[in-house]
Amino acid sequence: MNADPRVMEFFANPLGRPQSDAMVDRIEANFDKRGFSLWAIEVPGVASFIGFAGLAVPDFTAPFTPCVEIGWRLAAEHWGRGYATEAAGLALDHGFRKLGFREIVAFTTVANQRSRAVMKRLGMRYDPVDDFDMPTLPENHTLRQHVLYRLSSESRA
Ligand SMILES: CC(C)(COP(=O)(O)OP(=O)(O)OC[C@H]1O[C@@H](n2cnc3c(N)ncnc32)[C@H](O)[C@@H]1OP(=O)(O)O)[C@@H](O)C(=O)NCCC(=O)NCCS
């Protein structure tokens, strides 16, 4: 999944095996550190792993940080079935009801319409005033301009 150029179209680079394994190590370390992270998604009877969705704390500084973000990534053959929205909805409920967060955000590069559609389906709100440049990407990088979507615990209830 992390090596597939379709999946990684809106990221700086597809990941090789060592980078992908290091990402999994960071995901698991965050479960130990914070008690939440990105969950692997299984679709019983279909596939034991189709991707991930879950909660994270961004490690860059922006006007909206510190914050809790929700994210998702599916292997391309599992797009178009509603799996990302279903899994993300469960992650939001866990974040609001079990972990007590007041707000959860999501962000992506402007052109990532598939991901923005998930944010909309989840009821997250976009305000252009929150647009920001991703500080981890170089100046003039085509993916640098990002949009932010927000959801409060009250509006999810
Ligand atoms: C972003 C991403 C997770 C979205 O996946 P997705 O499958 O399009 O999103 P959903 O799970 O919400 O599925 C919605 C689609 O499933 C369809 N669908 C089919 N059956 C469905 C069902 N039973 N219930 C709900 N939706 C269903 C919907 O109509 C919709 O189709 P459409 O895209 O043609 O409108 C996926 O494109 C991806 O992994 N991209 C690469 C990684 C990435 O960019 N991650 C985000 C970084 S911020």
Q: Residue 156: what pLDDT?
A: 87
In a domain, 8, yes or no: no
Gap from CA of 77 to ligand 1 centroid (Å):
11
- pTM for the model stands at 0.97
In a domain, 121, yes or no: yes
Task: Count Cβ neighbours within 10 Å for each residue of 7-18 and write b for 16 or more, e otherwise.
Answer: beeebeebbeee
In a domain, 3, yes or no: no
Instruction: Please write the tens of the pLDDT for every residue from 5-44.
Output: 999 999 999 999 999 999 999 999 999 999 999 999 999 9
Q: For ligand 1, atom 27, which residue shows the shortest CA distance?
A: 82
In a domain, 148, yes or no: yes
Q: Which structural domain, as residue segments, surrounds residue 139?
A: 17-156
Gap from CA of 50 to ligand 1 centroid (Å):
12
Pocket of ligand 1 from Cβ distances under 6 Å:
7, 10, 71-74, 79-85, 108, 112, 114-115, 118, 121
List 52's β-bridge partners, or say none: 40, 73
Task: Residue 99: give its domain's CATH number.
Answer: 3.40.630.30
In a domain, 25, yes or no: yes
